[in-house]
Amino acid sequence: MEGYTAALTGMELGDGAPGMVPPPEKPSGGWAGKLCGVVMLVALCGTSAMLFHCHGLTQSHGIETNEHQQNLKQISTNMKAAIHLHGEFNPKVYNKSVLWRDGDGHSFFQGGLKLENNEIIIPQNGLYFVYSQVSFRVLCSSAAGHTNQPLSHTIMRWSDSYSDEKPLLSAVSTMCQSDASGLDRRYNAVYLGAIFSLEIEDRLWTDTNQPKNVDGGDGKTFFGVFAL
């Protein structure tokens, strides 16, 4: 195109024979330089595009990582509060009732629910399912008068709303009902469970009338709460 433009310019100035277009000049070193410049420009554009693409991938990977971390944080934040405790009777540690543990067997806690001084502490207002089971192992003997023994298990609650303690759930069972001759080992379990509206800093604990007869085997005596 540059040679063609030069030819038109020559015609307009009247150089050379009338109606004749001067032959194009032989390409000089300037053409080679321009060609090299175009090649270098294309190479630079390609390199820039590659760098931009890599930078875009790096940014995209960073965004995905941040989103993954945010999702994990949201999951941990929205995790439902729950606690499940294993119980036993250990008079050397606690002789008033069942001793609850949060680090034995299948016991666990999460979401703010925790065990303090043998009591479950409620982390925030809401609906909770509260449950407990106590298994008893009683030696019955009619000669010793071990007949018709009552076994009671109660979940207690203390709340700021009424600044007092009250029974939340309670049940009574009987054992050694028959007049057995000699010794007879009997087993029984008392289970409690219901939904309650609880408040922050409420405290829940249990009261069992015959803790020395509690069976502390795996899965037999437990106490728990989980948020709904």
Give all strands (DSSP E) within 94-182, no chain letters: 94-101, 108-110, 114-116, 119-121, 126-141, 149-159, 164-175
Q: 10 Å Cβ neighbour count for 198?
A: 24
154 vs 36: CA distance, rounded Å: 92
203 vs 116: CA distance, rounded Å: 9
Answer with the residue of higher pLDDT: 33 or 93: 93
Torsion of CA 64, 67, 71, 76, to 10 degrees: 110
At 3, the pLDDT band (50, 70, 90 cuts) reads: very low
The pLDDT of residue 12 is above 50: no
The model's pTM is 0.63
Give the bridge partners for 214, in sequence order.
Answer: 136
At 105, the pLDDT band (50, 70, 90 cuts) reads: confident
Average pLDDT value for residue range 68-90: 76
Which pLDDT belongs to residue 186? 73
Phi/psi at 127 (5° precision):
-90, 135
Return all residues near 201 (Cβ < 8 A) that are at least 6 apart.
Answer: 121, 122, 160
Which pLDDT belongs to residue 138? 80
Find out whether 147 and 135 touch, Cβ atoms under 8 Å.
Answer: no
Taking only the tens place, the pLDDT of each residue in 113-150 is 999 999 999 999 999 999 999 999 887 766 555 556 78
Could you report how far apart the first and last alpha carbons of the chain are, in Å?
A: 80
- As a whole number, the mean pLDDT across the chain is 75
Q: Which of 7-16, 24-33, 78-87, 112-121 has the lowest mean pLDDT?
A: 7-16
* CA distances for 190 relative to 135, 172, 175, 193, angstroms: 6, 7, 12, 10
Which pLDDT belongs to residue 140? 76
Q: What angle do CA 134, 139, 142 make, to 5 degrees?
A: 130
What are the residue ranges of helices labelled H in 79-104? none
